[in-house]
Amino acid sequence: MNLNDIEVKSVTRRFEDTVAVDNVSMNVARGELFGLLGPNGAGKSTLTKMLCGMINPTSGTIKVGGYNIQDHPMKVKELLGVVPQDIVLYDYMNARENLAFFGKLYGLSGGKLRNRIEELLIFTQLDEKAVKRRISTYSGGMKRRINIAAALLHEPQVILLDEPTAGLDPKNKLALWEIIRTLNKEGKTIMLTTHMMDEAEELCNQVAIMDKGKIIALGSPRQLTKKVKMENTITILPDKITSKLMEATQKISGVKSSYRAYDESEKIETLKIITERAEDILPDLVSAISSVGTKILSVELSRVTLEDVFISLTGRSLREEEEQV
Amino acid sequence: MKLKRTIHQVFAIAKTDFLGITRNKTAIFFTLLFPLFFLIIIGFTFGTQGTGETSRIHVGTVNFDGEMIVVNNTDSQNSTIGDDFVQALKDANFTVYEYSTYGDKDTNGTAAYDISRGQIKIAIVIPANFTEALSYQYTDSLGTPIPTKASLDLYTDPSDPTGSLIAQQSVFGFIFGFIDHYQSIVIGQLPESFRDYAKVLADPVTVSTSEADVSGRQLRWIDYMVPGTLGLVLLWSGLNHASVAIADERAKGTFQRMIIAPVSSITVLAGKFVSCLAIVYLSAVIMLATGVLLFQVNLYWNIPAIVLTVFLGALSAIGLGLVISSLAKNVQAADAITHLITVPLQFFIGAFFPLSIMPEPAQIFGEALPFTKLVYAMQGIMTKNLPFEAVIPEILYMTISGLILFTLGIIAYRLSLKRL
Ligand SMILES: Nc1ncnc2c1ncn2[C@@H]1O[C@H](COP(=O)(O)OP(=O)(O)O)[C@@H](O)[C@H]1O
Ligand SMILES: [Mg+2]
């Protein structure tokens, strides 16, 4: 269990005047499903590119499977399966031809190559008809799956996926998560990058949060959310909001503040309660509301998410960053 | 084991690259069919002209030789040599139209009329005394022959200078041949002791081409052009493809994906090189086959020499392409730079037009290009049937230029790896 498949030590990478990766150190243990979460421009792709030897670090050392990538680049490349952020396939060839090409690059040939291709076509659930058409005719989800299959032909121990679900609809996203989970269950060490907190939270057992080239938090999603002392919000939809109701809720101990909020999309007015102990004050809150003669139509408790962790650490949201880019 | 694996990788990369061309209509057009297109257009326009292809030259004859004239105060009506002359023109495969009068451009059925209508490019008027003059029938009162020249009048079409020039030169060639033949007959009739002097006197300068003209063996333009198109092949199939081969994959990310596989960057380069070579040879075969099938060119097939020469030329083309491909910002830039080079360059390599008709600076520039050397070497070997030794200077030039450009290509390529 102390075996680390990826070891990154004080790695920095500069492009002219930008520091894309800034003195990053982190390990990924064998068998882990590791997520690198951060907004666009955080340096995730740059770190991934250094891990697979596409670009060199300006300083620092990287080991994959125990091999220093500078000293044993070919060894590291054999161990790694890399799924690039964009779909990188030859669109004038069909799925089988693409897989055969990438398989040959990894030294597979003959019957072994053919078997692996068939296995992966089954694994990625591409039907026989689609396999014979050129990649240019495939849907986004199909392309993504072949894009992943191309990295798996040589049965790598360590798999790097750069934003594997970016741009996919929910159905295809869930299907891809399932593929990633299956690979992890087979014993593969997986590191993926994402800017979607739900992906990191639900898929990964270790998460590093990256921002502006630095890793600002590292741990399991549970550890990370616990670390942050968060104010929770309880959203209540009452049948009517009166000043008596507002006074009553503010008197409850543990409530930091309460206010009326208009929900644009639902076209309703709600009551929001800010507190640090949502579960503890809920019974008092319910009795206080009924005591002023108001009925509760619905109650919603917000949970602490990795998004909240990111906000508490940086003061910005993951999404905002994305929209600016 | 490792070598075998590398070779597998090289061929996988080459095959993928090759499919990228053959499965893409635009790429097929620009890398394979564009030079062909040129060959066909220019070949049909000018290619089959040339002094040897006499049947395309329409010649009018106005033979007055049979007319009655007065020689030595007696009527003479001998047309033997004039008729021979016309017959020889026909035998030399000219397309001959015979007229009874030169006439004028407004009188239908005359030679002048047909020149003005473009029916014939040249008219030859044979005088009435043609046979009499050539057979020494003019004598003084003592019976001593009075040397009398037979004079032919040639009329050409001024509205078509090129066509006229070609027709005129072919006819000149024919006439020289005819004169030569006549001289040897006359000299044969002289007393033995005079013959050698007379031979020199008759032919102080021997012009051997005239003989070739008459025999119809002289080469046509197309016979030079088809081997010359191999120079175009280098530009359009070699340079053009090499220049986008890497830029394109870099833009799509497939290049990066190859590099992150356990494949050395030199293996990728080798794969690209093999594919570029395959495209060059494929294009060369298409070009030569078209020449043979469409224009019936008659070439000499020294295959090893052709393969070697094309390889050396391809080194320069692919090397230059690599430089462009590696340094260009993106595919569009690589494409633009290549076209900027290829389009003008194709006129300086002597593929369509001999460099000798160009202004001197253009000639110097053209001569410096390795592609021109390829054109010369190929025309030497395939058209003129020169032995390989005769084109060694060109081969050496191409080898040196190929090594330099290819080395520059590798350096540029290695630099570009730093910019992924
Ligand atoms: N080739 C490059 N040249 C210059 N700057 C780059 C290059 N690649 C990435 N960067 C910069 O490095 C930073 C990190 O980029 P990247 O690693 O792609 O982020 P992410 O994958 O997290 O979105 C960005 O500011 C980006 O502009
Ligand atoms: Mg990225």
In tens digits, chain A (325 residues) has pLDDT values of 458 999 999 999 999 889 999 999 999 999 999 999 999 999 999 999 999 999 999 999 999 999 999 999 999 999 999 999 899 999 999 999 999 999 999 999 999 999 999 999 998 888 888 888 999 999 888 899 999 999 999 999 999 999 998 888 888 899 899 999 999 999 999 999 999 888 998 999 999 999 999 999 999 988 887 766 666 778 888 888 888 888 888 888 888 777 787 776 677 888 888 787 777 888 888 888 888 888 888 888 776 777 777 877 777 766 654 444 4
pLDDT at position B207, please?
A: 53
Please name the fold of domain B51-202.
abc type-2 transporter like fold (3.40.1710)
**Domain range list for chain B:** 2-46+220-418, 51-202
Centre of ligand 2 from the C-alpha of residue A247, in Å: 49
ipTM exceeds 0.90: no
CA distances from A299 to A80, A250, A295, A322, B63 (A): 48, 17, 11, 31, 119
- Both tokens assigned to B393: 């200077």
Whether B321 and B338 have beta carbons less than 8 Å apart is answered as: yes
Closest residue CA from atom 27 of ligand 1? A41
Which residue of chain B has the CA closest to A134? Answer: B23
Buried b (16+ CB within 10 A) or exposed e, B148-176: eebebeebbbeeeeebbebbbbbbebbbb
Within 13 Å and on the Cβ side, how many CA atoms surround B62?
A: 22
In whole angstroms, give the CA distance from residue B105 to residue A291.
123
Q: Ligand 1 within 6 A of A314 CB? A: no
In whole angstroms, give the CA distance from residue A321 to residue B7.
46
CB-CB neighbors (< 8 A) of B252 in chain A: 88
Inter-helix orientation angle B240-252/B392-417, to 10°: 10
3-class DSSP assignment, residue B316: helix
Q: Under an 8 Å CB criterion, which residues of B touch A?
A: 5, 8-9, 12-13, 15-16, 19-20, 23-24, 252-254, 256-264, 420
Cα torsion B368, B371, B374, B376 to 10°: value is: -60
- Given an 8 Å threshold on Cβ–Cβ distance, is B263 in contact with A105? yes
pTM over 0.80: no
pLDDT at position B212, please?
A: 39
Flag residues of chain B having pLDDT under 70: 46-53, 206-219
User: pLDDT (tens digit, 9 = 90+) per residue, B42-94?
Assistant: 777 765 555 456 777 899 999 999 888 888 888 888 888 899 899 989 988 88
Identify from B5, B25, B257 which residue to disrupt to test chain A contact, counting A C-beta atoms within 10 A and taking the largest count.
B257
Whether B68 and B76 have beta carbons less than 8 Å apart is answered as: yes
In whole angstroms, give the CA distance from residue A267 to residue A157.
52
User: pLDDT (tens digit, 9 = 90+) per residue, B93-142?
Assistant: 889 999 999 998 888 989 999 998 888 989 999 999 898 888 878 888 88
Length of chain A: 325
CA distances from A99 to A131, A152, A319 (A): 11, 10, 35
Closest residue CA from atom 4 of ligand 1? A15
Strand order in the sheet with A189-194: A80-83, A158-162, A189-194, A33-37, A206-211, A214-219
Sign of CA dihedral B215, B221, B224, B227: negative
B25–chain A nearest CA distance, Å: 11
- Residue B34's nearest CA partner among B346, B348, B318 is B346
Helix residue ranges, H only, B160-204: 161-189, 192-202
pLDDT at position B53, please?
A: 64
pLDDT at position A233, please?
A: 77
A123–chain B nearest CA distance, Å: 22
CA B207 to chain centre: 22
Strand partners, A159: A81, A190
The H or E element spanning position A53 is: none
DSSP character for B147? P
Whether B374 and B313 have beta carbons less than 8 Å apart is answered as: yes
Q: Which atom of ligand 1 is nearest to the CA of A46?
A: 17
3-class DSSP assignment, residue A63: strand
Closest residue CA from atom 13 of ligand 1? A20
CA distances from B149 to A199, B63, B134, B171 (A): 105, 17, 7, 19
In whole angstroms, give the CA distance from residue B353 to residue B351.
6
Inter-helix orientation angle B221-233/B34-42, to 10°: 160
Ligand closest to CA A21: 1
B292–chain A nearest CA distance, Å: 33
In whole angstroms, give the CA distance from residue B36 to residue B230.
10
pLDDT at position B214, please?
A: 28
In whole angstroms, give the CA distance from residue B65 to residue A308.
113
